[in-house]
Amino acid sequence: MKTNWDDIRYFLALCRTRSFVAAGSELKVTHSTVSRRLSALEGSLQTQLFFRSEKGCRLTPAGEKLLPYAERLESTIALLDEEVSGRDKQLSGSIRIGAPDGFGNCFLAPRLAQFQRLHPTLEVELVAVPMYYSLAKREIDILITVRKPAGGHIIAKKLPSYRFGLFATKKYLKGHAPIRSPEDLRRHRMIGYIEDLLYDEELNFINEIVTGLRPRFRSSTIIGQMNAILADSGIGIIPYFMAHSAGTLVSVLPELGIDRTFWIQFNPDSRRIARVRATIDFIVAEMESSTSVLARLPHARRRAAPSLTDPGPEGADANAARKGRKKREKS
């Protein structure tokens, strides 16, 4: 009996979901259809491919041997579809992008909407959550991470650096003690990550500001932290590009900026698919043209920050002097 490519699709879906129901949902068929197609594949190969249990399906040694061949076949079919059908220039089909929640929601989402207007038949799926999906398992087409990948059969490119800084609202700063040095932060309500839920240790940077500083409000997502800052709950560490999007936040101790780097990753064969290639090129170009948003604050807001965190008599005198100059200029 010859092996049917369509049965391989069911095999791959079950590898990635480990559940007949989940695989059926992914392929938009019933779980019984998945079971039947897998049985057909096992029959054609005359071997068992999965161990079945209440906890799900696990590959047998034979299944593990089949997996890389099945993935290469999947890639070949995808490339054939692109080249022969003529859709290479149309950028049709769907593409799924995985990214950290702050970068995905605040930077990528509005820009991908613009990209999609240029390619209206392209379906874009943005998975902007604080966890990483697997390129190897084909759960994602393009993956953006804050950590350089360690080996593996993937391509990774370094993107422009971005900066984190301390931010708060004017209302919070006016109602609390002045901040002249990092040690003053110990007297303030800090906002940060839940340490044991950090999805990447590269984001565990609060100790880079002040050793032993413990947030009094903690969230597993950077979006949750920014919303807490906007609610006047305290001082948090967020990327400058998120501070730009918020518009009303004030920089606290701007000299304490923390730099990080994004990495864009994809499978080697995926780079040959037009929609993947075009999306990668678009994301890289957008980041390279947005270095001012990624790495620093607007000039006016940067000047305002010191007087808001520690106004003092000198700040008040300077404000009065500016008002006096404006009044004289008008007269």
With a CB cutoff of 8 Å and minimum separation 6, the contacts of 19 are: 56, 57
d(CA 204, CA 197): 11
d(CA 222, CA 306): 25
User: Which domains are assigned to the chain?
Assistant: 5-85 (1.10.10.10), 93-159+262-292 (3.40.190.10), 162-258+297-310 (3.40.190.10)
Per-residue pLDDT of the chain (331 residues; tens, 9 = 90+): 567 778 888 898 888 888 999 888 888 889 899 999 999 998 888 899 999 888 889 999 999 999 888 887 877 776 666 555 554 455 778 899 999 989 999 999 999 998 998 888 889 999 987 666 677 677 888 999 888 877 667 888 999 889 999 999 999 999 898 999 999 999 999 999 888 887 777 777 888 888 888 899 999 889 999 999 999 999 999 999 998 877 789 999 988 888 888 899 988 877 778 888 899 999 999 988 888 888 765 443 443 333 333 434 333 444 444 445 444 444 4
pTM: 0.64
